[in-house]
Amino acid sequence: MGFVARRHLKAAYCGSGQIDHNQGDAVVSPAIDLTGVWAADDGATYYIQQLSDGSVTWVGLNNSGFHRGIDFTNVFRGRVSSDGTMLSGSWVDVPRGESNNSGTLSLDIVPSPYGPPIGPNEFRQKADGTSGGFGGRVWTRGLSPSGPFPLGPQDIKDIESRVQRYDKPLGENNPPCRDFTVMWGSITEVYWPTLPPERTYCSFVSGWEPGDGDFSFDLTPDFSRVSAYFWIADWVEGPFDDFDGPANEHILSLFDRYKLFHCEAAMYGRENDSDHCADQPLILLPAWQENAGNSVLVNGRPINGSFVEVIVNDHRVGAPPAPYKALRFGGAVGGRQVDLTPGAVARVTGVIADDAGHEDEVAPEIHPVYAIDVVQDFGVRRPDGNVNLTGVWHANDSGTYYLHQTGNTLWWLGMSRDQGRTFANVFYGTIVGNVIEGDWVDVPIGAGGARSGGSLTLIGEALSTELTKIFQSRLFGASAWTKLYDT
C-alpha cells in the first residue's frame, strides 16, 4: 500500500465486480478524468481515484470539523460508461460515521464548459439506478485554489503557537514533539478535571488558574502495537526553547525515567484570545468541550462536552484496587457506554509533548489527545448475536480501518494515523470460509499521499478480532489487523 508503491494500478473490472489484473487496459475518452477532490451538496468532500480502465473509487467524508466523516463516511466503487456520460456503481457507509446504509448509485457526468484539459466538473444523481437513500445530489470539482483540495501536512508547531490557554499559548506550555501519534497501552490512573468557574470559553481563557479543564490519565504503552520506526520517524524538528537536542531523544529520556505517558484531553482548542473570546470560534485542535468533529472522540463518537465522574467498586480478579476513579462516556458507537478506567486497554491518538509548564521534570505527555479508543471486551458481545467483521480496527501500520461486512462481502476504508494524509485506501472483497480476497485502491486525501492499488488475501474467522495478510500483489503497509470494537 501507501508507503513505497507509487505506480497506478493497471486493471479492468471483470463480471464478478472484482478487479482482474490479467486483463489489458480499457480505453475511456481522454476527456474523462474524474480523479481529484469534489464537493457535494450533502456537506461532504469526496476524494476520487479513477484508473485508466474507467473504474472509479472514492471516499466521501462529511465536513464535520477536525475529525471529518463523523456524521457519515461512505465508500464507492464503480465505472464510467464507454461514452463518458455516466458513472454507476455500489456504495456503503463505513463505521467512521454514524450512518449504516448501502446501495447503488448512478450519476450523470456533466461536461466542463472549459474543455477536455480540465474534464468534467459536475455529477448529478439519477433516480434510475440509485438505491439506499444516498444523500448527495450534485458534486462539483474545485476549479480554483479556493475550491476543494487534498490535505497538506499539518504544522503542529504553528498551530499550537496559536491555540490559547488560560495563561499562554499551548505550544509554550507543552512544546509539540510528534503529531498524530498512535499509542496503545494500559490505563493505570484517571484524573478528574479541574474546571474553570463556568464551562464557557470566556471563563476558560480568562486567566483563572488552575482551571485549565483538562481531563487526564496515565498510559503504560505496549510498543509491540506501534510502528517499529516510532522512535525514529515523524518527530518535530527543533530547535526547542525548553530542552536541548532532538525531540525523540528528549522524550525517550523522560520515558526511560517514568515508564508511562501522561495523556491530557484539552477543554478547548481555539485561537480566540480573551479579548475575542465571544467571537466566532476559531477551532484549531479537538477538545472535549467542542462539538461534532471538533470534539475529542471516544470510540469514534464526539464527547460534545458530556461525561460524568464515577467511583468504581470493582472487586473482580485483575481489576485495580477498589474504589477507583473513572470517567464515563455515553455516546460511543451503537450507544454503548464506555468507561475510561484503570486497567482498561486503550489506543490513544494525539500529540506527544514536553510539559515545559512545570518547573520540575515530569513524565512525557500526549497532549492534546485527539481520540481515545477503549478496546472492547470481546467476551461480551451484542445479545442478538448479530456480530461479524464490521467495526473499527487497528493495523500494524498504525492506521485505522473501518470495516463493513454485508453477507460474504467486505468493504473497508483504511486511513493513516494523520487522518489519511499519508495513505487512504478503499478495499472490496469476498469472504469464503476464513479467507478474504479482494482489491484495494488508494484515494487522494493527502496532497502527497500514496497512489497505488492491488490485490490482498487475508485470513480470519467469522467472528475474528484478528486478521492476517497472506498475499499481496503490490506492497501494502499493513500485515496484521486487531479489532478495537464492534459497531
Rounded average pLDDT over 194-202: 92
Q: Which of 353, 374, 395 is the last residue of a domain?
A: 374
Maximum alpha-carbon separation in the chain: 71
Burial label for 123, CB within 10 Å (0-12, 13-18, 19+), is: buried
Domain end (from 374, 398, 433): 374
pLDDT value at position 227? 83
pLDDT exceeds cutoff 80 at 290: yes
pLDDT of residue 20: 33
* Helices (H) then strands (E): counts for the chain: 4, 28
Tens digit of each residue's pLDDT (9 = 90 or more) over 317-327? 667 777 888 99
Q: Are strands 176-191 and 215-221 parallel, antiparallel or unpaired?
A: antiparallel
Task: Indicate whether 274 and 422 sit together in one domain.
Answer: no
Classify 115 in phi/psi space as left (phi over 0), alpha (psi -120 to 50) or beta.
left
Q: In Å, what is the CA distance from 443 to each residue of 50, 188, 219, 395?
A: 9, 39, 34, 18
In contact, 312 and 321? CB cutoff 8 Å: no
Residue scoring higher pLDDT (336 or 157): 157
Q: Element (H or E) spanning 437, and its range? A: strand 435-442
Cα–Cα nearest to 286, from 122, 25, 70: 70
- Residue 114 predicted with pLDDT over 90: no
Statement: residue 30 has pLDDT above 90: no
DSSP type of residue 276: G
- For residue 109, what is the DSSP state? E
Same domain for 460 and 444: yes
- Residue 88 in any domain: the answer is yes
- Classify residue 400: in a domain, yes or no: yes
134 has pLDDT over 60: yes
Specify whether 54 is located in the same domain as 25. Answer: yes
The confidence score (pLDDT) of residue 212 equals 87
Tell me: do 317 and 213 sit in the same domain. yes
CA distances from 171 to 101, 194, 241, 245, 394 (A): 41, 20, 11, 18, 29
Find the domain containing 409 and state its range: 12-149+384-486
Q: What is the pLDDT of residue 331?
A: 60
Instruction: State residue 208's pLDDT score.
Output: 75
Q: Say whether pLDDT at 335 is over 70.
A: no
Q: What is the pTM of this model?
A: 0.91
In a domain, 445, yes or no: yes
Does residue 12 carry a pLDDT above 70? no
pLDDT higher than threshold 50 for residue 3 = no
- Report the alpha-carbon distance of residue 355 to residue 66 in Å, rounded: 24
Same structural domain for residues 313 and 409? no
What is the band of 454 on the pLDDT scale with cuts at 50, 70, 90?
very high
Same domain, yes or no: 130 and 180: no
In this predicted model, what pLDDT tens digit does every residue of 435-446 receive, in sequence order?
Answer: 999 999 999 999
173 and 125 assigned to the same domain: no
Q: Is the pLDDT of residue 51 over 60?
A: yes
112-126, 203-217, 286-300 — which is least confidently predicted? 112-126
In order of 119, 121, 140, 188, 286, the CA distances from 114 in angstroms are 8, 9, 14, 60, 40
Q: How many domains does the chain have?
A: 2
